[in-house]
Amino acid sequence: MNTQTMTHAATADTAEPVTAPALPADDRAGEGYDWMETLEGTAWLVLPNWGSEGWDAGAWPYIIFAVARTRDGNGELFGYGTYVEGDTATHWFRSQDACFAGITADVFFHWASGQSDGPENPPRHRYRTAGAGPQALPRLDHLEAARVFRPITAGAPERHANIR
């Protein structure tokens, strides 16, 4: 398993270099449920649902989404990571809205392809573009992510402010 705690990355929305919490890599010895356990004690939390109807964000144990929030010298950073059958990927954003749009695009891909349970009859095409957000798919309101990405208050630990 990857025990690295911080990593260098570039934000997807502003392309600025940042140092942010590393998403644990899969050690290939277990399955997705084992990988979810590796998130304990890190800045990352599993995101089980997305949208107003509580549709699946992924399909455990094969497709798992995780989210993190941190702060650096230039402000807040919002991240999401994916675990897809052992492969992990991380995406960092300076803007919470851009992060939500990224999550929406990836979750939508899995809904549209039938890999996870989502809204009935979603449009066949959903493109990740600047400005593409939840408004492009009616009924998504980010209730779940809004709970996870609660504001960091002054004086709060910089590690993260995610709810548990």
Please tell me the predicted confidence (pLDDT) of residue 123: 58
CA distance 54 to 117: 10
Summarize pLDDT for 39-74 with one digit per residue, the tens.
999 999 999 998 878 889 999 999 999 999 999 999
Is pLDDT above 70 for 80? yes
Distance set, CA 85 to CA 1, 18, 19, 150 (Å): 15, 27, 26, 29
Q: Mind listing the pLDDT tens digit for each residue in 142-158?
A: 434 444 454 444 443 33
pLDDT at 4 over 70: no
d(CA 21, CA 80): 11
Write the DSSP symbol of residue 148. Answer: H
Average pLDDT over all residues of the chain: 77
pTM of the predicted protein model: 0.75
Every domain of the chain and the residues it spans:
6-148
Rounded mean pLDDT of 104-118? 87
> What are the residues facing 72 on neighbouring strands?
75
